[in-house]
Chains A and B, each alone.
Chain A
Amino acid sequence: QKEVEQDPGPLSVPEGAIVSLNCTYSNSAFQYFMWYRQYSRKGPELLMYTYSSGNKEDGRFTAQVDKSSKYISLFIRDSQPSDSATYLCAMSATGNQFYFGTGTSLTVIP
């Protein structure tokens, strides 16, 4: 079993839709949770960071962590064509070694 599971998609939505991206994990020691966005042929860039459980909001993006269910989510409101990218979840127990999901490919259609 992989440490982190993420549906690879692809996910295609119309502009303005609410997008929900999810990851599940098996290691209950994970306490650092991150979402990265990766455009084609570029390195990932950090979108959201959450420590332990709870919600975090930044503009159109909301990250949720449910440690009891070992489940994390990223919501994108009012999605834009510029949001089209691959979204990677990442998590760590120690803050040193990070485990990444395989990424979900998102296309927002104008």
Chain B
Amino acid sequence: GAGVSQSPSNKVTEKGKDVELRCDPISGHTALYWYRQSLGQGLEFLIYFQGNSAPDKSGLPSDRFSAERTGGSVSTLTIQRTQQEDSAVYLCASSLGYRGQETQYFGPGTRLLVL
């Protein structure tokens, strides 16, 4: 079956521009997670959704970052006024539920480069 998909796969933008990253989770998965992976930094948790609501936004690095999920499916991560330090791979994952024993399935990521 189809896995988690993300678009675009690569994004190059200029400092100060806004970008939108999209995640299509596996159909029927109620939980959705966003992570950021920088070189040598590992995966950094950003936010997770239970259905359309985000109980924990504490991982978002600044108020320039926001995320939404609609219809319990597609999610968009928006970065406003991008900075060079935002350059990273942004990974999305989904799971059937939102308890620890549920397997998270990751998408291939969006590689963001801010010039």
Contact = CB atoms under 8 A, between A and B. Distances in A.
A32 interface: yes
Contacts of A31: 100
A95 B101 contact: yes
Interface in A78-96: 88, 90, 92, 94-96
B109 A43 contact: yes
Contacts of A36: 106
Contacts, number: 63
A46 B93 CA distance: 11
Interface residues of B, number: 27
Contact of A100 (B42, B101, B107, B109): B42
Contacts of B33: 98
Interface residues of A, number: 27
A43 B93 contact: yes
Given A8-B40, A46-B104, A49-B101, A96 B4 contact: no
Interface in A47-106: 49, 51, 88, 90, 92, 94-103
A97 B93 CA distance: 12
Given A46-B103, A49-B103, A96 B98 contact: yes
Interface in B71-108: 91, 93, 98-108
Interface of B: 4, 33, 35, 40-45, 48, 55-56, 59, 91, 93, 98-109
